[in-house]
Structure 1
Amino acid sequence: MERCAEPGTVEWVESGGGPLVAVPETVLPFWTGADGEEFASDYDRACEVDGLVGLLPVGDAAALVLGDEPAATAYLPEHSVLVRWVAGHTEDDLLASVPAALATAQWDRETQWKVPGPVVLFDAAWPGTQAEGTDHTRLGLGPGRYTVRAARVSPGPETWLVLVHLRPLP
C-alpha cells in the first residue's frame, strides 16, 4: 500500500485488526469500545456484524460498523462514499479507479441510517471518548436519513476495494 497522493488530500483511517465504526458525535461518550463492562462490549458487538456494513444502537442513535476485514478507509465527500483499500499498488491508482468502480458496483442490500449530524470514523476497539486521540476522521454528514449500500469491487487486475455509499434521503 503505497500512499503517494498529495499529502492532506485524503485521510485514511486504519484499525488495529478489527472493524472500523462511524459513531455520531452526539453519542461518542456512549461507545465503550473494548472496555465495556457489559457481557459483550461494543467492540464485541461490532465484531459480530455479518457482512460489509451493519448498524448498532448507541445511545439514542446508531453507529455504522464497517465489517468484513480490516482495511484502510477514507471518506470521499465528492462521491459520498467510504473507500476501503483491500489491495492496490498506489493510492493514486486506487483513487483514480473510484468513479469507474461506482459505476460498475454490484451493491449489497441497502439499509437506512439516521444520523443527528457529523460522525467520527475510528477503530471500534477504542472508547468514543478517546476517538480523537487515535487514528480517526470526521465525516461532515448533515442530520437526516441516509441509504447505506456496500459493494466489493475490482476495478483493475490488481486492485480491490470495498465501497460504502452514503446517499442522503430527501
Structure 2
Amino acid sequence: MVRYADPGALEWVESGGGPLIAVPETVLPFWAGADGEETASDYDRACEVDGFVGLLPVGDSAALVLGDEPASTAFLPEHATFIRWWAANSEAELLAGVPAALATANWGHEVRWEVPGTVVLFDSAWPGSETERTDCLRVGLEPGRYAVRAANVQPGPETWLGLVQLRRVEHG
C-alpha cells in the first residue's frame, strides 16, 4: 500500500480508496467489509454515506464512516478529533495547523453516536475480524453518547485538513 503520510509522531491509517470506518471493538466480527453474500456489502453501504461523516448499524451498535475522499487519518486524543491529511508538506506542518483549524472550522451537521467503548479505525473494505492484517488504529473512548461533527479547513496556504471531532454528551 502506498503511504502518503510521513512516518512521524502519529499513527496514520489509510484506505485502498474507499472510506475509513470506526467500528466499536465489541462488534468488529459483524462488519463483513467487501465480503459477504448480500447484494450490497457493508463496504457498499459505507460508500453510500453522503458527506463527511455518517453512521451505519453494525451488530447492536453503530459504526462511524469517515466519508468524502479517502485520506490518511490519525486521532488526536487531546482534541478528541480525527484529523485527515488532505495536503501538507510534512506531518509537523499539518499538526501546527490543527489549533487554527479547530478555532476557525465551519462545522457541518452533527450526528449522535453511541459507543460501548474502544473503536477500531480501518479501511471499510476489510472485514472487522481481519483488522490485524491491515492498517488499523484502536481509539480508546469512554462508553457513552458523542456528538460528532466534521469540517474541512485550510489553516495555511499549502495546508488542508479534515476534522472529525467527538464531543461527549449526556443522555437526555
Is 1:43–2:43 an aligned residue pair? yes
Q: What is the root-mean-square deviation in Å for CA atoms of aligned residues? A: 1.0
* 1:72-120 deviations in Å (ceiling 9; x for gaps): 0000000000000011111000011101100000000111000001000
Residue 169 of structure 1: how far off its partner (Å): 1.1
What are structure 2's unaligned runs of at least 5 residues? none
Match of 2:105 in 1: 105
Q: Which amino acid aligns with 2:88?
A: G
Query: In the TM superposition, what are the counterparts of 1:72-83 in structure 2 within 5 Å?
Result: 72-83=72-83
Residue 36 of structure 1: how far off its partner (Å): 1.7
Equivalents in 2 of 1:43, 1:161: separation in Å? 24
3-state DSSP of counterpart to 1:149: strand
Equivalents in 2 of 1:2, 1:74: separation in Å? 10
Equivalents in 1 of 2:62, 2:71: separation in Å? 22
Query: Any conservation in 2 of the 1:52–1:67 contact (CA below 8 Å)?
Result: yes
* 1:26-69 deviations in Å (ceiling 9; x for gaps): 00000000002111000000000000000000000000000100
Stretches of 4+ aligned residues off by more than 6 angstroms: none
Equivalents in 1 of 2:64, 2:114: separation in Å? 10
Q: TM-score, normalised by structure 1?
A: 0.96
Q: Which amino acid aligns with 2:58?
A: V
Q: Which amino acid aligns with 2:65?
A: V
Q: Which amino acid aligns with 2:97?
A: S
* 1:117-140 deviations in Å (ceiling 9; x for gaps): 100000000000001221000000
Q: Identity percentage over the alignment?
A: 71
Query: In the TM superposition, what are the counterparts of 1:1-170 in structure 2 within 5 Å?
Result: 1=4, 3=6, 5=8, 9-170=9-170
Q: Which amino acid aligns with 2:15?
A: S
Equivalents in 2 of 1:4, 1:34: separation in Å? 28
Q: Which amino acid aligns with 2:132?
A: E
- Count of aligned pairs: 167
Q: Which amino acid aligns with 1:169?
A: V
What are structure 1's unaligned runs of at least 5 residues? none
Q: TM-score, normalised by structure 2?
A: 0.95
Equivalents in 1 of 2:102, 2:81: separation in Å? 9
Closer, same or farther: CA 131–4 of 1 in aligned 2, 3 Å: closer
Equivalents in 1 of 2:66, 2:5: separation in Å? 22
